[in-house]
Amino acid sequence: MNLTLVTIAKFSEKMLWVVGFLLAANLVAMIIVVVRTGKVDEDEGCVVKEQGALTGNPQLATGGNANVLGAGMNVVKEKILVDRSEFISDESLVDGTATKSQRLLVHCIQLFFFLFWLLFVFIGLSRVPSQPIEGAFFVIVPTIGFSMAAVGMHRGRTEALRKLKKSSIANG
């Protein structure tokens, strides 16, 4: 039994390095997604004026306030309320209105939570041979906390699916 625990502990110590590297890489990916999609914080709460071509302007399609200057040019006024701290709802993920970068960010956050949980589990498993109570604590307590968070995320998704199904039945 002790040899098995020592083998698991050695494996867990190696996996700590792998999970730590993956956690850091995931964090870098999340930072890149936020920096690429977010606006500068100075624009928050301000009206931004952009001048561009009249054709293919997404602001015109979504009802943005555009003043046509003539000869295919326009000025688009866009109020930036909150951009980098934008809330991504479960409804937008379920009904497909979330952008690709928002979906990527949600998947990165879910992966971050999973890797963070694995980090605690491997710390606990590496501590089991020398300090079994501490090792069990590092495995059991985070597992309970992260499973409760996973259940909450699942409930949010199923609630959004239920609302989407209810609205699609009511609409047609």
With beta carbons less than 8 A apart as the criterion, state whether 52 and 68 touch: no
Query: Given pLDDT bands bounded at 50, 70 and 90, which one contains residue 139?
Result: very high
Give dist(CA 14, CA 21) in Å, integer. Answer: 11
Rounded to 10°, the helix 132-171/100-127 angle is 160
Rounded to 10°, the helix 2-37/100-127 angle is 160
Percent of the chain with pLDDT over 90: 37
128-150 mean pLDDT:
93
54 pLDDT above the threshold of 70: no
Lowest mean pLDDT among 43-47, 103-107, 144-148: 43-47
The whole-chain average pLDDT of the chain stands at: 78
Rg of the chain over CA atoms, in angstroms?
A: 24
With beta carbons less than 8 A apart as the criterion, state whether 135 and 124 touch: yes
Query: Given pLDDT bands bounded at 50, 70 and 90, which one contains residue 56?
Result: very low
Using alpha carbons, select from 100, 76, 85, 93 the residue that is nearest to residue 38: 85
Helix (H) or strand (E) holding 107: helix 100-127
Helix (H) or strand (E) holding 132: helix 132-171
Structure tokens that stand for 119 in this block: 């980090």
78-87 mean pLDDT:
52
User: Which pTM value belongs to this model?
Assistant: 0.66
Tell me if residue 33 falls in helix, strand or coil: helix
